[in-house]
Structure 1
């Protein structure tokens, strides 16, 4: 992700009302307002990485209309209020926002997972309204067919952002949709230079996301063995990206987080930055930027690299699981997702009307190449998960170690073979810890 090295991507934004898409019954996935009066209840909501203001802006008004008998108590993940701390205090929330990287260590390991399949069945809820990889990845991550969360916007596609001013200054044509990495490499060579006493880099990138969300779907941890997944395949990916940092005047930032976050690009000193498109990672207004689709490997399929969305989950300790599931249905309804899309939040459903509304209420996106976000028609495969019952390593820890490994190679602190061997050992050590729990 392009935020911080510790990483934990943030999601969400604001909500508006649907004006012309029919009633709840006409909207697939919409939750019907309760027909009979119910006893008042309180549902506590834990938003990993999301502040209460966002929940209020995006959901609370709609939920109050649909569920007048429910009082919502929002718990922000402040100091002392992490999910493990809440569980330890006996204050486990009813509704929990999670994601694939945090699913194991910050949900399932706490023994609070609830399989939502029975609720999907009892409410005849249509999971086919979502982009298929989002639902299936959660099922694979949970294993044994359990569904531990319902996907809600946004998901995060990989893109290339570029500084139009630098391309204009140096008389180089802008990047375009559908490029491969060889073409990006050639552009980076042209744009890496020193001029007027200032150094300009041709390329920077959120290498953590570039590696984790690779278009081959290669996992970091082998799904079937206690080791790094196929080192030879990882060498191919490393080599493709390392060459960009060997271009004269394009050395990788010595601070890992600075490279991931695109700090040099945001200061106007980099021509192209590869990153995850997110409304949570805005590019400064001082940069005249645009985006194009994320490059693919030469000769390989033209598919989109992406990271999945966050998910709403229900605690196993909740006394109001069915009510909580109905609330989830409301939060991912077409009404809410249409409002989100207009605000520039990428929807998790396949509804074309909702997708076409993307960014309509965002003046800053009016002249941007928004089509780059939807350029590819096929999704890259997500990485396969560990076999059921096997020891594993939290996704966050895997991707952090992989990013540091790559950075050490790019900085020429070590060679690729040694670095990947050391990564393999780190993964094995973490697996041993998991087995000894």
Structure 2
């Protein structure tokens, strides 16, 4: 009986030990499986129970290779390297540290884009203005369509003011090509005035939204001679009458070989010439003198471009208001188009060049530009609301004047197949005509007819070059 009991107890103990061993083994198996599955799923440097590591390289994340250093050359006529450094250098160095920018000289003998192309030293990026893009880019065989890169980088063209994209495509494309993206600066129009002279003659300050008739009356009251000094009521940068007109009227007709819209030009000429017929307000001898006379402190009002480059520091107390409007004319501000950043088809680093352009036109860079007085090319009201706020001079001025009216569309270019005449050449003919009329050499109708004849001759000259 005792033996049976001992045998029974021994059997129970054996079973219990077996159960424990079985449980322990199952737990070890499950643990090993978990370890194995964990190593397999993570594919990283897992260690097995015995301390051995997974084979080297298996499951290790593949490190991206750092971008290779490249040098991007830029030819930017009209913009000094110092300005480029101030506006863009830090942002490019931060976002694209592998890119070195080589700024090519653009002034002096041998440094035009034609010179570089002739030497086979074609830059990666060219900055050009719309009026010369044919001569300085398209006609040199440099054109490269950006649409492929825009698509690859999913670049949002809608962020720009559509005036700048649409007008440039219309001017340059044959089949919808996009050759460039707009970069500040561009220039609109305002009316500056010398507060000290208004105080001296007891006249109320100007205000936004005035008409040219109201400004004419103010100019008439301010034009006088006192103590041997001729105080003029009004002066102007005459080129703005032509190139920045609110009608968006081209000098050369887009579809015909003649002066565009003669009746409209007559209306504009009549509006401005009357200011120079006011006693004691004669027009200066030439365009340059007329443009700069306001800075001497003897002119009450001056119609000119709004530009962060314009230096009026010699005047103690000046401000500006919106450009006046003519009766029946569009209530818009005529503009001179921005520059455009273009990539050359010969460039070896097109993607890096496009990355540079994207950074130069980023919101961060354009916001900094705007705060320093540069009008942005993107349609972002936040930027225009802070225009000039970081400028010691502009922050105290009436900056609302700059955007008081909508921007007028850029002047249309010649239609496809029509002979192109350099815009500056065509505009100069009208400027000379205006001066002749303002000086009383001929009436407005006569000077416009002469300008039309000279413009037709320019078209014939351009045609003869292509034969």
Say whether the fold is shared (TM-score over 0.5). Answer: yes
**Which of 361, 380, 384 in structure 1 is aligned with 2:408?**
380
**Which of 96, 101, 106 in structure 2 is aligned with 1:67?**
96
**Which of 308, 313, 321 in structure 2 is aligned with 1:279?**
308
1:202 is displaced (CA, Å) by: 0.7
Go from structure 1 to structure 2 and tell me whether the alpha carbon gap of 1:183 and 1:65 turns closer, same or farther (over 3 Å shift): same
Q: Does 1:146 align with 2:174?
A: no
Q: Aligned residue for 1:125?
A: 155
Q: Does 1:230 align with 2:230?
A: no
1:351 is displaced (CA, Å) by: 1.9
CA distance in 2, matches of 1:401, 1:114: 33
**Which of 103, 113, 117 in structure 1 is aligned with 2:133?**
103
Q: Report Cα offsets for 1:298-336 as digits up to 9, x if no partner.
A: 143422222221111111221222221111010000010
Q: Does 1:369 align with 2:398?
A: yes
CA distance in 2, matches of 1:122, 1:436: 42
Q: Report Cα offsets for 1:82-126 as digits up to 9, x if no partner.
A: 111111111121111111122122222222122222222222111
Q: Aligned residue for 1:399?
A: 427
Q: Does 1:57 align with 2:86?
A: yes
Go from structure 1 to structure 2 and tell me whether the alpha carbon gap of 1:194 and 1:36 turns closer, same or farther (over 3 Å shift): farther
SS at match of 1:421: helix
Q: Report Cα offsets for 1:365-387 as digits up to 9, x if no partner.
A: 232111111212x2223222111
CA distance in 2, matches of 1:226, 1:357: 44
Question: Is the contact between residue 125 and residue 341 of structure 2 (CA under 8 Å) also seen in structure 1?
Answer: yes
Q: Aligned residue for 1:252?
A: 283
Q: Aligned residue for 1:114?
A: 144
Q: Report Cα offsets for 1:170-199 as digits up to 9, x if no partner.
A: 001111100111111111111111111100
Q: Aligned residue for 2:384?
A: 355
Question: Is the contact between residue 203 and residue 270 of structure 1 (CA under 8 Å) also seen in structure 2?
Answer: yes
Go from structure 1 to structure 2 and tell me whether the alpha carbon gap of 1:52 and 1:210 turns closer, same or farther (over 3 Å shift): same
CA distance in 2, matches of 1:109, 1:420: 31
CA distance in 2, matches of 1:113, 1:151: 16
1:243 is displaced (CA, Å) by: 0.7
SS at match of 1:240: helix
Go from structure 1 to structure 2 and tell me whether the alpha carbon gap of 1:97 and 1:121 turns closer, same or farther (over 3 Å shift): same
Q: Report Cα offsets for 1:272-295 as digits up to 9, x if no partner.
A: 100001011121243411000001
How many corresponding residue pairs?
400
The aligned runs of 1:311-322 (5 Å cut-off) are 311-322=340-351
**Which of 416, 422, 439 in structure 2 is aligned with 1:411?**
439
CA distance in 1, matches of 2:163, 2:122: 29
State the structure with more CA Rg.
Answer: 2
CA distance in 2, matches of 1:326, 1:434: 37
CA distance in 2, matches of 1:36, 1:393: 50
Q: Aligned residue for 2:52?
A: none
> 93-102 vs 293-302, which deviates more?
293-302
SS at match of 1:307: coil
1:215 is displaced (CA, Å) by: 0.8
CA distance in 2, matches of 1:210, 1:273: 12
Q: Aligned residue for 2:448?
A: 420
1:36 is displaced (CA, Å) by: 4.7
CA distance in 1, matches of 2:378, 2:65: 30
- Give the structure, 1 or 2, with the largest relative contact order (CA under 8 Å, sep 6 or more): 1
CA distance in 2, matches of 1:91, 1:173: 58
Q: Report Cα offsets for 1:54-101 as digits up to 9, x if no partner.
A: 112211222122222222110121212011111111112111111112
Runs of 4+ in 1 over 3 A off after TM superposition: none
Q: Aligned residue for 2:26?
A: none
1:417 is displaced (CA, Å) by: 2.5
TM normalised by structure 2 equals 0.83
Q: Does 1:205 align with 2:236?
A: yes
Gap regions ≥5 residues in structure 2: 1-63
Question: Is the contact between residue 210 and residue 275 of structure 1 (CA under 8 Å) also seen in structure 2?
Answer: no
CA distance in 2, matches of 1:258, 1:117: 45
The aligned runs of 1:73-84 (5 Å cut-off) are 73-79=102-108, 80-84=110-114
1:236 is displaced (CA, Å) by: 1.1
Considering fraction of residues, name the structure with more helix.
2
SS at match of 2:85: helix
Question: Is the contact between residue 152 and residue 332 of structure 1 (CA under 8 Å) also seen in structure 2?
Answer: yes
> 246-255 vs 228-237, which deviates more?
228-237
> 389-398 vs 160-169, which deviates more?
389-398
Q: Aligned residue for 1:13?
A: none
